[in-house]
Structure 1
């Protein structure tokens, strides 16, 4: 299966610029002002975005028909890099309204719109939610996946909308990085999707009597980590998470310093906690009492 390459600011911009400006990807008429076009390219590569935008506007002013497509895109890109999000959205809309032929630039513009809408949403401006919603049903897999991953990092309203596409990534894609990012989103908004069976929530195993030696036999290899969080005095867990062992390890090792400090305050050494978890027997549970009296139970399963 073809790998889906999601939009990357650092690497993608150089690739897209080369494709768009290299002469074969963007139809710039022979009558266009060659000096002005060269100036626009140079200014953009030098990250002088205000001057580059002005230069691209000049190129666009002298272009006609299909020749105006690429300059319109790069005007929007300059505005985005200048942090002028609302203006950049309008300019990307103007580019898409031209119905451009270059599908790579179209996908790049659409993912840029998603990125800007998500950024504004985080800042409290929810006026561009339709951009995010519409992107989830885009015919472009790149745009659809990018929107789902961006929305999974927002609040519950947006994150839950992204769940069907995140599940789609999990079911259909083979790219390990893409799948891991989808799992991170599902862990937040639909952890049941990561269970061995989505509908089954296994109960915590019964504790072994104190001093009971483990049964002899083959070495047990855990494949799943289960977490249950129960409110003080409660009997049913308010949070149930089942994670593949590899994903759980990745998440644990990426814990921020303040979370590791919390573990230390509870008497657990973050440097040895994971190894302790991996070595749990089939009836052993790590139980942690939270600050508000909640009970956190962690155990592993084959």
Structure 2
């Protein structure tokens, strides 16, 4: 969606520039044709980026279907190097834990997405994003259980955090409205993300503003299901798993069933496929119109 918004903003900027160019050269037809061509190329570029992500998502699904489910012992026996893993094991933080925005239990990893939205007062939908939007994953090194030697999921080097190298999926969506009793922890955490509950959340006679949150966490000591690319490093007494992917291919974690992960991938695949088709078709049409006019 943000990719489409970016392309739309580009189109608006170009259209505004048409008047200035047309005024300077005294030929609005040429300015319009050039603008259409530029917008068409921009849409085709967006379509190409979406197609790249489609390929990454399909690759993830194939890897998921072909990978065997391993436990801590299996992971500890793997050779050093890059691997795509499906791991199901208990997981425990090495020392400190993290907490999400909501009042959840201490966790080894938590992913939260949130935004301030507006809708008609008293109606659950439709709504639109009007304020701050954020997405963040907090995670710390953690040890898998059932291993003959310690197996740790951690960042490369001495850094403690895993952070955006992984993503927790399978969380529930929640809305914070003006009538909710929001805890001090939630208020402080939202403030750190740029959301002031007192100022941003309100209900008027026509519109109301609320915060939409989706949070998923892996509790400390819980059972995690992890899928994705990792790099395995071993020494005399320890095996370290370093998340190997980035962005679309970063490892996914969940405490729900295994079906949560392919559902997340398929849902994203559907969105980017639609974006690729719409921007590709629109870009092709605009470029054809521009070229036909310039050559006519």
TM-score range, shorter chain: under 0.3
More strand by share: 2
What is the TM-score of this pair, normalised by structure 1? 0.23
Tell me the TM-score normalized by structure 2. Answer: 0.24
- Quick check: which has more Rg, 1 or 2? 1
- Which structure has more relative contact order (CA 8 Å, sep 6+)? It is 2
- Identify the structure with the greater helix proportion: 1
